Structure 1
Amino acid sequence: MTLDQYRDVADRALAPLVNAAVSLGITPNGISVLAFAVATAAGASYWVADPGTLPYLLGAVLVFCNGVLDLLDGMVARRTDTASAAGDLLDHVLDRYADIVVLVGLAGGTGEFAIGLAAVTGVLMTSYLGTQAQAVGLDRVYGGLVGRADRLAIIGVVTAVAAFTTAGYAGLSLVGLLLVFFAVVGHLTALQRFYYAMRAL
């Protein structure tokens, strides 16, 4: 389950935004910083949200925007031939912080901090294993059960639904169940990437 295989489709769909960014002189690093600011706003919206309230919908829209901007920075860098190791580092660091603030916001809104901690560590380990494979001489690993694009899509859809319902299960709201999902699948994806890397070495 990964949306990364549809990257070519996203590239074509976002071409007008790339053209606009290039025309306006917006740098890839500027887009990366903006993406993090949007993620922070999403996390804040989730923190103050209650099931069945509109802050969840606002957070969903902001998460979608973060995903678009996350694609856009790399596309602009390639279009303007300004891709660099420093830009790649900045993008990855800000992406990790974006993951943290969004998940912490979800945990804060539900009060499920223990589950939120498990979700954050699962997501961070997934990302770490993806880049650590590259550090030991392999290609960067994007595959697995749930990649970043999948995660943002799932967060957006579930929190948009949570804006209009108070449904849940076993004492957990939809967002609480979402955190459980990321806690489990995040660590499974990390282990899957670790297995792939060890087999390839």
Structure 2
Amino acid sequence: MVNITKYRDRLIHYIDPVARVFAKMGLTPNQLTLISLLFGIASAALYGLQHAWLAAAFLLLSGLFDFIDGGVARINDKASTFGAAIDWIIDKYVDCLVLIGIGLGGLADMRIVAIAVFGSMINTFIKPVTYAEIGFDKKEDGKIKDPLEGIGIFGRPETAITLIVLSLFDQLYWAVVIVAVMTNFSALQRIVYLYTHMRQRDRL
């Protein structure tokens, strides 16, 4: 399995034509991030009502708008520290709300949903802790670029793709199992990476 986030810079060029349309419409990156959140909330609610296919469509739209907001920020040169932070926060809100919606809708065991939510959060939480303790500060288009970006085989894009695809086959139970296992495994990969690569700095 490939970490899609690792190839963000290559993939973002494919979405540029769409981002340019929204940029010309005058929508700001933060407005697009808010739209992404609203689609995410709608997706969670639809999963809770057991409308899995429609929920998957809204989750896809949420992901697309989340991707587009960065393109608009770059095109209009409106990248901001607040925008980068709120984008990250809203991403986690959407991830957790959708998983909880799936659980509340009875489409997956809530105990497994809890593990999936934990994995999703800790896999992301490792990064800000690393920034704070190690001090990565290199930024591109308003976002921090660090070695952890490409570490771990299962991140947010893989989570969304798994939920969307398996929603179409009415296999959300297994989708959540996969997310629960793989996000936690990905978090362990990042911990191992930090241990093997960053301990050398402590010896200096």
Same fold (TM over 0.5): yes
Tell me the distance in 2 between the aligned counterparts of 1:70 and 1:140: 22
Q: 17-26 or 139-148: which moved more?
A: 139-148
1:124 aligns with 2:121: yes
Q: 2:87 aligns with which of 86, 91, 97?
A: 91
Q: Kindly indicate whether the alpha-carbon contact (under 8 Å) linking 1:134 and 1:140 is maintained by their aligned counterparts in 2.
A: no
Structure 1 segments (4+ residues) deviating >3 Å: none
Amino acid at match of 2:52: Y
Equivalence for 1:137: 135
Give the alignment of 1:55-66 within 5 angstroms.
55-66=51-62
Instruction: Give 1:108 shift.
Output: 1.4
The question of whether the paired residues in 1 share the 8 Å contact of 2:163 and 2:176 is answered with no
Contact kept? 1:43, 1:102, Cα under 8 Å:
yes
- Residue 82 of structure 1: which of 65, 78, 84 is its match? 78
Tell me the matched-pair count. 185
Asked whether the 8 Å contact 1:131–1:141 carries over to 2, the reply is no
Alpha-carbon distance between aligned partners in 2 of 1:82 and 1:125, rounded to the nearest angstrom? 29
Is the 8 Å Cα contact of residues 103 and 116 (structure 1) preserved in structure 2?
Answer: yes
Q: Decide whether aligned partners of structure 1 residues 153 and 111 sit closer, same or farther in structure 2, where only a CA change above 3 A counts.
A: closer
Q: Which residue identity does 2:90 align to in structure 1?
A: L
| Identity of matched residues, % | 28
Segment of structure 1 superposing worse, 7-16 or 118-127: 7-16
Cross-structure match for 1:114: 111
Q: Deviations over 1:42-87 (max 9, x none)?
A: 11111111xxxxx211111111111111111111111111111111
1:10 is displaced (CA, Å) by: 3.0
Q: Which residue of 1 aligns with 2:31?
A: 30
- Distance in 1 (alpha carbons) for counterparts of 2:47 and 2:83: 29
